[in-house]
């Protein structure tokens, strides 16, 4: 199936992810100006972002259950409102502790309602199973386009207007997500696909689906691999700008490196998604993590310059969120689409635990050692372990007894 034949819901979901993740991935460039304003160390801002990512994950299974039960549209609208309120409250905060509520709790809730789990859960119900990984890859790439588009804009707003006005503008942009959600509708072909699946398979309750997943060894290995992804992504997104500043590189260099992450992830997410449709997803995932191991090891071994920062941004961007279509595709392949938002939501919670630790430990270790080197080498080791973790996953679809025909 050509991507241009995907249902409108896919493209509306892409619009939502561009806004949601474009804003989220820009938070790293706010660390130093916000920390300077409140006179705190980097651990303070890092902990607020870590709390955001932890709650992003904590809320995710419950939000996924609600989306499976009540539909994605309502959940997205609620999330967009929470996201906007969190950003606006941060922009007018006079006490640093407010950021734990605004940037931590409210934005964390907003992200859980408007990002991959909810959007991919909706997409899974309107595209044929054989094209799911491609659709997931295309949708994942959208978030990277938002990152590429918004980070330079955020840097320009910071330079000319300050961080408060930049966050206020981002808060207003969240209204676009509400507009996209209002036009989301189910797809007739997708509904027919789901109906055919339901006729072939017995009706399954949420409790049964959870029990089935929890008994599957591969499901827990998927959790472990996605934990590593979360650790990598939030450590790099949160601390790369400060790391480059410590190396006497300009703030514009850091913004451009993150923008390269975004634009190359557009191609990378789609590439890894297509590879997941053509080859074994677990083998493709292992290859992705081996590539990431080499990229990070090379970056921390070689001298840090403007050119090496740009190359690192491009290379890590190519494997940045390629894990998303592969991980969600594995969950769908093994367990089906019916409870994807719930089952993938639980996996995503583990991802966000990794994000929490990556963001927080980065600041903690820097404040303790005065250097990011120990945490960088930890990410190299974790990437290699993740490459090995995916190899023994049994990715065959679970066979369930066919429901007996009614005479």
Q: What is the CA radius of gyration of the chain?
A: 20
CA 281 – CA 222 distance, rounded (Å): 11
Asked if 68 contacts 336 with a C-beta cutoff of 8 angstroms, the reply is no
Q: pLDDT tens for residues 161-212?
A: 888 999 999 999 998 999 998 888 754 444 434 444 444 455 778 888 889 9
Supply the pLDDT for residue 137. 78
In this structure, the number of other CB atoms found within 10 A of the CB of residue 157 comes to: 20
Distance in angstroms (rounded) separating the CA atoms of residues 75 and 184 = 12
Q: What is the pLDDT of residues 252-279, one digit of tens each?
A: 888 888 888 878 988 888 898 889 888 8
Listed residue (212, 223, 233) closest to 398, CA to CA: 212
> Which residues have CB under 8 Å from 190's CB, separation 6+?
7, 9, 125, 126, 127
Alpha helices (H) along 183-250:
188-200, 206-214, 217-246
Per-residue HEC secondary structure of 99-148 comes to: HHHHHHHHHHHHHHHHCHHHHHHHHHCCCCHHHHHHHHHHHHHHHHHHHH
Which stretch of DSSP H or E encloses residue 265? helix 251-278
Mean pLDDT of 214-238: 92
Chain segment 54-102, per-residue pLDDT in tens: 888 888 888 888 887 888 889 999 999 999 999 999 999 888 888 899 9
Q: Which CATH number fits domain 7-193+207-389: 3.30.70.360, 1.20.1250.20, 3.30.365.10, 3.50.50.60?
A: 1.20.1250.20
Residue 280 is encoded by which pair of tokens? 């074994």
Distance between CA 267 and CA 114 in Å, rounded?
22
- Indicate the Cα dihedral angle 136, 75, 29, 230, nearest 10°: -50
The domains of the chain are located at: 7-193+207-389
Structure tokens at 58: 């904590």
pLDDT at 13 over 60: yes
Q: Average pLDDT in the 357-372 region?
A: 85
Sorted by sequence, the CB contacts under 8 Å of residue 336 that are 6+ apart come out as: 197, 201, 397, 398
Report which DSSP code applies to 315: H
């Amino acid at each position: 199936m050509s991507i241009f034949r995907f249902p409108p819901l896919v493209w509306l979901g892409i619009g939502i992810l561009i806004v949601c993740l474009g804003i989220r991935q820009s938070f790293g460039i706010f660390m130093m100006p916000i920390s300077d304003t409140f006179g705190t160390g980097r651990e303070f801002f890092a902990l607020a972002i870590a709390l955001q990512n932890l709650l992003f994950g904590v809320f995710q299974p419950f939000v996924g259950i609600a989306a499976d039960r009540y539909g994605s549209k309502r959940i997205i609208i609620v999330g967009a409102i929470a996201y906007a309120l969190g950003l606006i409250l941060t922009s007018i905060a006079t006490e640093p502790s407010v950021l734990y509520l605004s940037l931590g709790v409210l934005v964390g809730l907003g992200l859980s309602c408007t990002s991959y789990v909810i959007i991919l859960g909706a997409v899974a119900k309107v595209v044929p199973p054989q094209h799911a990984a491609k659709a997931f890859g295309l949708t994942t790439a959208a978030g990277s386009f938002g990152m590429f588009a918004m980070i330079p804009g955020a840097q320009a707003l910071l330079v000319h207007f300050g961080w408060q006005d930049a966050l206020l503008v981002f808060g207003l942009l969240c209204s676009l997500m509400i507009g996209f959600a209002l036009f989301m509708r189910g797809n007739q072909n997708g509904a027919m696909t789901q109906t055919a699946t339901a006729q072939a398979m017995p009706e399954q309750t949420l409790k049964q689906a959870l029990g089935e997943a929890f008994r599957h060894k591969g499901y827990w290995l998927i959790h472990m691999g996605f934990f590593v992804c979360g650790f990598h992504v939030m450590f790099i997104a949160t601390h790369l700008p400060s790391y480059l500043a410590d190396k006497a590189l300009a703030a514009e260099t850091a913004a451009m490196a993150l923008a390269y992450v975004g634009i190359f992830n557009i191609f990378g997410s789609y590439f890894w998604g297509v590879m997941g449709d053509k080859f074994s997803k677990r083998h493709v995932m292992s290859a992705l993590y081996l590539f990431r191991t080499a990229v990070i090891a090379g970056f921390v071994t070689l001298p840090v310059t403007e050119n090496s920062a740009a190359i690192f941004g491009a290379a890590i961007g190519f494997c940045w969120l390629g894990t998303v279509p592969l991980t969600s595709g594995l969950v769908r392949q093994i367990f089906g689409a019916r409870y994807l938002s719930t089952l993938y939501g639980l996996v995503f919670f583990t991802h966000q635990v990794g994000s929490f630790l990556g963001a927080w430990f980065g600041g903690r270790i820097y404040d303790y050692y005065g250097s990011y080197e120990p945490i960088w080498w930890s990410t190299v080791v974790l990437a290699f372990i993740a490459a090995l973790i995916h190899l023994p996953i049994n990715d065959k679809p679970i066979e369930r007894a066919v429901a007996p025909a009614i005479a």
